[in-house]
Amino acid sequence: MKRVGKWFFMTVCVLLTSSAFAQVKDWAQFNRYAEDNKNVKVPAKVVFMGNSITDGWWPADSAFFISNGYVDRGIGGQTTSEMLVRFRTDVINLKPKVVVIMAGTNDIAQNNGYISLENAFGNIVSMVELARFNKITPILCSVMPAYEFGWRKGMEPAGKIIKLNEMIKAYADKHNLVYVDYHSALKDERNGLPAKYSHDEVHPTLEAYKIMESIVQKAIQKVLK
């Protein structure tokens, strides 16, 4: 009887493990843009790689991307680790001239568990190195200001965002890369995103996206000229 119970317990464990793996089989969300990527005219002009802030940019102002021939490859909730894993399929394979990288918010929020700022920064550097190796010019963007994460309270992100941005800017300066500073243009006195630019203190309104567009357009034009 004890033996039957043991085998039953082991079977349940295997089934639970299999179920767990089934739920995370597309951890990096390769399938999100699989069909869209087939329809991209290669070589692409500019690809925007990012998280929900980039993901939400398209529905907020798709005309910005369509009129300029830009490709949006943001996925909500993603960390730098997930972006790095899908960088080949969603950026390199599209052979763009430029990739605009904005990442780090969800690492600081610990969406996939704890990761140090140094390791999140390292993932960003790896994306840059992959881009340059494939003759794609990277543009590095600051992490957007945030005083509090609504989905993960108590992380005190404002100071951590500033520190990560300092690391990104220093790297850009050292390697002669273009750095886009959304943070300085949009922050309030708390180093957060004010209500006029966001409904949840994290995700931009159309007004904020318009400001971001004017900033990043100058950077893209500088690189492409």
**pLDDT digits 0-9 by tens, 179-198:** 999 999 999 999 999 999 99
DSSP string spanning 59-109?
HH-HHHHHHHTEEEEE-TT--HHHHHHHHHHHTGGG--SEEEEE--HHHHT
The CA angle 57-59-62, to the nearest 5 degrees, is 80
Q: What is the mean pLDDT of the chain?
A: 91
Task: Yes or no: say if 140 and 171 are a contact pair by the CB < 8 Å rule.
Answer: yes
pTM of the model: 0.88
Distances (CA, A) of 200 to 53, 181, 196: 12, 21, 10
Q: Which two tokens mark 116?
A: 């140090």
**pLDDT digits 0-9 by tens, 74-100:** 999 999 999 999 999 999 999 999 999
Residue 57 and residue 28: Cα distance in Å, rounded? 20
**pLDDT digits 0-9 by tens, 12-30:** 444 444 444 445 589 999 9
Q: What is the pLDDT of residue 3?
A: 52
Q: What is the pLDDT of residue 151?
A: 87
**pLDDT digits 0-9 by tens, 28-84:** 999 999 999 999 999 999 999 999 999 999 999 999 999 999 999 999 999 999 999
Q: How many residues does the chain have?
A: 225
